[in-house]
């Protein structure tokens, strides 16, 4: 058994059955993705639209592609055409642009709202306050081709696991409150995407429904 398959088997054994895996394949070759696909993973995440579209074209149709990196407005068309989920929606304006483009392409696209929970300012997303202060019920009602399916967040890059846990806990609370407050009539608001290779166990502990792991499956990324 090769190491990608072994890594996946080990993860699947340990992960609770109700938590899904997004295999983060940025910088990995189509061959590596194919190995992971053959080992049973069907959802892959990319942080750049062009790389996502190129891999989608080179790989089996049965793969679901998630966009997990910041989406620029000039790439919305390509993102809507190739992704099945956009996890990194970080503004109301972007949400509207995705909706119009999806209507034009006659498709329904699932989106997550990215929330900024980390210390680092480089990470994008809505603030917790913005999520709390927005009437998402009327927002969602105004969208014809986007389904808001939940929240996504990235914890601080730190060795302080108490800090990471408290960030995940805040996001998890926000997810449950927002679902109750605004999405009780939207049955598809069910996803809390949090947890990466270094912190996925804590994220799952705190209520994650979807982890995004790259290194854990494919090994260390070569930095370019």
Ligand X SMILES: *Cc1c(COP(=O)(O)O)cnc(C)c1O
Give the footprint of ligand X on this chain (CB under 6 A). 24, 26, 47, 68-69, 154, 196-198, 212-216
How many alpha carbons lie under 13 Å from residue 9 in its C-beta half-sphere?
9
Closest contact distance (angstroms) between CB of 212 and ligand X is 4
Considering beta carbons, is residue 70 or 169 the nearer one to ligand X?
Answer: 70
Considering beta carbons, is residue 21 or 95 the nearer one to ligand X?
Answer: 21
Closest contact distance (angstroms) between CB of 207 and ligand X is 17
Closest contact distance (angstroms) between CB of 215 and ligand X is 4
- Of all residues in this chain, which one has the CB nearest to ligand X in the complex? 214
Residues ≥6 apart with Cβ < 8 Å to 198: 215
Considering beta carbons, is residue 63 or 152 the nearer one to ligand X?
Answer: 152
Considering beta carbons, is residue 20 or 145 the nearer one to ligand X?
Answer: 20
Closest contact distance (angstroms) between CB of 141 and ligand X is 29
- CA 81 – CA 201 distance, rounded (Å): 33
Closest contact distance (angstroms) between CB of 145 and ligand X is 24
Residues ≥6 apart with Cβ < 8 Å to 29: none
Considering beta carbons, is residue 142 or 215 the nearer one to ligand X?
Answer: 215
How many alpha carbons lie under 13 Å from residue 175 in its C-beta half-sphere?
28
């Amino acid at each position: 058994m090769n190491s990608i398959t072994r890594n996946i088997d080990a993860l699947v054994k340990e992960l609770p059955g109700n938590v899904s895996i997004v295999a983060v394949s940025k910088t990995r070759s189509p061959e590596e993705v194919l190995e992971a696909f053959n080992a049973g993973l069907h959802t892959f995440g990319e942080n750049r639209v062009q790389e996502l579209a190129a891999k989608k074209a080179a790989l089996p149709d049965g793969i679901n592609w998630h966009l997990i990196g910041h989406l620029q407005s000039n790439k919305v068309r390509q993102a809507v055409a190739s992704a099945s989920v956009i996890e990194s929606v970080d503004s109301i304006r972007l949400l509207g642009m995705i909706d119009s483009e999806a209507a034009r392409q006659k498709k329904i696209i699932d989106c997550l709202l990215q929330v900024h929970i980390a210390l680092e300012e480089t990470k994008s997303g809505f603030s917790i306050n913005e999520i709390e202060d927005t009437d998402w019920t009327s927002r969602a009602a105004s969208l014809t081709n986007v389904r808001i399916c939940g929240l996504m967040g990235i914890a601080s890059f730190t060795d302080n696991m108490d800090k990471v846990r408290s960030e995940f806990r805040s996001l998890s609370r926000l997810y449950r409150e927002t679902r109750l407050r605004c999405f009780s009539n939207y049955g598809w608001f069910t996803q809390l995407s949090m947890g990466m290779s270094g912190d996925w166990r804590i994220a799952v502990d705190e209520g994650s429904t979807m982890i995004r792991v790259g290194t854990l499956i494919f090994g260390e990324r070569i930095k370019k």
